[in-house]
Structure 1
């Protein structure tokens, strides 16, 4: 038969094994999972912001291709506040639209989108949530105007 004092030893060993497994899970697996979640959230925010801001680039290109007098109205839904800058490229033939996002690790990610229209300069501030943007090329003007409507 079994000795009565061996049963306690076996239970204690099982408890120690379970505690070691929980410690490994807590100190190794959970931090790696948290990093993966932060990376996924950053990636999602970058993709969502780039998709929304690229609508501005598409509208600018469409207004430019349609000529003076054309106008586009956009509704953008942004995950965070951003400032969109318009500047000329190095080759001075095209302009670019650029903005930067704050990442979860404190760094900033710069994103650039090329434009066919080369006379844009300045910036526009867009807030988190819905923004109504108008891209308009006035008949009497040589510059496409981009502005936010409250």
Structure 2
């Protein structure tokens, strides 16, 4: 090889070594960031679903007894939607499975007690990943005289 060919070959060798070193460092970092972005997106989608339901619960609760409202809810993940009361505050919540197999609780405050499936004693409901659920939100009275807003996913 002449002098110029030797220099070009050395530059190409250095370039490929630098490229290999950068790819071994940057690829794991990029894949971790992609997983983090997917986790945030799943959490935001689940929160959006809960906010949609909570807004309708608030609207029905603000209306007169016996009011009913039907909405369409996009369920982005397979999950359970729960109701719980903490310090006289009412919440609906779900858990989101993250990429590291841990779970994150996503919750939204609602103005009243919430039950599911047209039964005042049910405080959770299973949801599959589906484009839309026709969801009926209405006031119900239990046999014990308790009032609650019921969320029924059809």
Q: Shorter-normalised TM-score: what interval?
A: 0.7 to 0.9
Residue from 130, 133, 137 that aligns with 1:131: 133
Q: Residue 146 of structure 1: which of 146, 151, 154 is its match?
A: 151
Using the alignment, how far apart are the partners of 1:82 and 1:100 within structure 2?
A: 7
Match in the other structure for 2:118: none
Q: What TM-score results when the alignment is normalised by the length of structure 1?
A: 0.84
Aligned pairs for 1:1-12 (under 5 A) are 5-12=2-9
Q: CA deviation digits over 1:91-119, x for unaligned, max 9?
A: 2x221111110111211111121111036
- Pick from 108, 112, 135: which aligns with 2:107? 112
Q: Which has the larger radius of gyration?
A: 1
SS of the equivalent of 1:17 reads helix
CA distance in 1, matches of 2:95, 2:113: 21
In 2, Cα distance between equivalents of 1:35 and 1:132: 36
Q: Does 1:82 align with 2:73?
A: no
Residue 63 of structure 1: SS of its match in structure 2?
helix
Question: 1:139 deviation in Å?
Answer: 7.0
Moved more, 79-88 or 24-33: 24-33
Give the number of equivalent residue pairs. Answer: 144
Q: Secondary structure at the match of 2:62?
A: helix
For residue 32 of structure 1, report the CA deviation from its aligned partner: 1.3
Q: Mean Cα displacement is larger for which, 113-122 or 27-36? A: 113-122
| Higher percent of residues as strand | 2
1:71 aligns with 2:76: no
Partners of 1:50 and 1:139 lie apart in 2 by: 28
**What does residue 119 of structure 2 align with?**
none
Cα offset for 1:86?
0.5
In the TM superposition, structure 1's runs of 4+ consecutive aligned residues that sit over 4 Å from their partners are none
Q: Partners in 1 of 2:152 and 2:75 — Cα distance?
A: 16
Match of 2:24 in 1: 27
The CA deviation at 1:53 is 1.5
